[in-house]
Amino acid sequence: MMIVPSPYYYPSTFCTVYDHIDDFDNENTSAKNNKITTTTTTASTTASTLVNHEKEYYLCPNCDVDDYDDCVCFLINHDDQQGKQQQQQQQGILTTTTTNPYYFKVEYLKRIPFRMTSNLWGKIANIKIPENFRKPIYMTYSKVFGVNVNEAERPVEEYESMADFFSRRLKEDARLIDLKHDLVSPVDGTVIYYGKVDNNSLEQVKGLTYSLEEFLGEKEMAKIKGKNLYHLGIYLSPGDYHGIHSPIDWSIQERYHFPGYLFPVAKVAVDNIPGLFALNERVVLSGQWKHGFFSLTPVGASNVGSIVMDFDKELSTNNPKDQSNIRKEKSEYYHKSYTSPISSLRGNEVAFFKMGSTVILVFEVPQDKQFDFTIKPGQHLKLGEPVGDLK
């Protein structure tokens, strides 16, 4: 297993603040040559502004002023500043300016210790419950969140802890796996979005996208650039079965673990936080199906940091040692190539959450084909139900 630096910057580090003009000059000698002046700011949440003639630039840590045309922070013309900001917000690119409402939403959430509370919740959920209290506790939970306990493979009294109950398996005949259609649902859950991947962007909700490269990683993106890709996102509620299964026959070749934040992934968060799924901790499983590239990615969330894979005991999610790493300008991710690709048949369990979260599929279809989804946003799916076919 390798630990490699990620080229991606979290939104809070897209732009930087220079408290003194000397700091700016020392780090950017070409600023003097280009006679670019700076306007320092007093608020720590705003970015230093570079003004050159009629254009305004935001300097990010990985860009030199000579490279601002290619800077991920983009240049903003004074005449079209509002339009550019709206475009960036829709793409999930956050600039640290007071006029960007998304910046403050994300920065506020970063100050909430979701990873700490998730670790604490994990410890509480693993506390053994006296047998006499199990049934009333689990039945109350099931009533609130709509759990069908009759589908569980064991009587509720046999689940020793809440974590044990959350990760319950189903009876063998509880789900029928469709074999007629090209793709089935990998989980029980609610459809968030689906569709064709355009401009290397994934749709989070209507009108709000985020970078496919940032989500899957630079290495995977290099393999699939220019291919005919589609994607599907499904949200698992606390009451859903938490198992994640193969939606097709495929081989799993690599695993990328991106430690990240554990923001909530409920609808209100998905609707308001751009790039949410690329910010949160996630495990990208990539491989091949009969039509080319295929990836399945469980995404963590608050109180749902634990993602477990029986075939990969090295995987450790929601690990306290990653807390400081996610705040670095360059984060690290964990990469593992499986010496022998893992063959997984449709319906086989791949992983499970300790509590509900989100699963995202990104897959390739032939260039002369398109994928016809037979589902709708907001539709609740059961594991194994068809979601569409190649046309």
Residue 183 and residue 94 share a domain: no
| 44 is a catalytic site residue | no
Banded model confidence at residue 177, pLDDT cuts 50, 70, 90: very high
Banded model confidence at residue 222, pLDDT cuts 50, 70, 90: confident
Residue 68 and residue 191 share a domain: no
Residue 297 lies in a domain: yes
Q: Are strands 250-258 and 332-344 parallel, antiparallel or unpaired?
A: antiparallel
Q: Return the DSSP state at 295.
A: E
Residue 8's pLDDT is 35
Residue 112's pLDDT is 58
Tens-place pLDDT, residues 54-84:
333 344 444 444 443 444 333 333 333 444 4
d(CA 310, CA 295): 18
Q: 8: helix, coil or strand?
A: coil
Residue 387's pLDDT is 98
d(CA 34, CA 28): 10
Q: Return the DSSP state at 261.
A: B
Do 389 and 373 contact (CB within 8 A), yes or no?
no
Dihedral sign for Cα atoms in the order 116, 120, 123, 125: negative
Tens-place pLDDT, residues 296-347:
999 987 665 578 888 998 887 766 666 555 554 445 788 999 999 999 999 9
Residue 211 and residue 322 share a domain: yes
d(CA 243, CA 341): 21
Boundary residue ending a domain (99, 115, 149): 99
Banded model confidence at residue 99, pLDDT cuts 50, 70, 90: very low
Residue 366 lies in a domain: yes
CA distance readout (Å), 115 to 85, 215, 237, 281: 30, 20, 19, 10
Residue 187 and residue 81 share a domain: no
Residue 291 lies in a domain: yes
Residue 197 and residue 88 share a domain: no
Q: Which of 154-158, 162-166, 263-267 has the lowest mean pLDDT?
A: 263-267
Boundary residue ending a domain (36, 67, 99): 99
The average pLDDT across 364-368 equals 95
Boundary residue ending a domain (51, 75, 99): 99
Banded model confidence at residue 369, pLDDT cuts 50, 70, 90: very high
- What token pair was written down for 166? 């959350």
Number of structural domains, the chain? 2
Residue 182 and residue 53 share a domain: no
Residue 106 lies in a domain: no
Residue 5 lies in a domain: no
DSSP-H helix ranges across the chain: 21-27, 30-33, 81-90, 101-110, 114-125, 131-145, 162-166, 212-216, 218-224, 267-272, 276-279
Q: Is the pLDDT of residue 355 over 70?
A: no
- Please name which of 308, 186, 165, 327 lies closest in space to residue 250, comparing C-alpha atoms: 186
Q: Which of 182, 188, 240, 312 is catalytic?
A: 188
Residue 253's pLDDT is 97
d(CA 170, CA 183): 21
| 245 is a catalytic site residue | yes
Residue 271 and residue 182 share a domain: yes
Residue 112 lies in a domain: no
Do 289 and 250 contact (CB within 8 A), yes or no?
yes
Residue 48 and residue 182 share a domain: no
pTM for the model: 0.70
Banded model confidence at residue 183, pLDDT cuts 50, 70, 90: very high
Residue 322 lies in a domain: yes
Residue 204 and residue 293 share a domain: yes
Mean pLDDT of the chain: 74
Domain that holds residue 259: 176-390
Tracing tokens 């968030």 back to the chain, one arrives at: 192
Chain center to CA of 364: 19
Residue 181 and residue 85 share a domain: no
Q: Is the pLDDT of residue 46 over 60?
A: no
- For the beta carbon of residue 83, count every other beta carbon within 10 angstroms: 11
Q: Which of 245, 306, 312, 322 is catalytic?
A: 245
d(CA 194, CA 325): 31
Residue 362 and residue 246 share a domain: yes
Residue 299 lies in a domain: yes
Nearby residues of 52 by Cβ (< 8 Å), 6 or more positions away = 34, 35, 36
| 291 is a catalytic site residue | no
Q: How many CA atoms lie within 13 A of 75 on its CB side?
A: 15
Q: Is the pLDDT of residue 353 over 60?
A: yes
d(CA 241, CA 356): 8
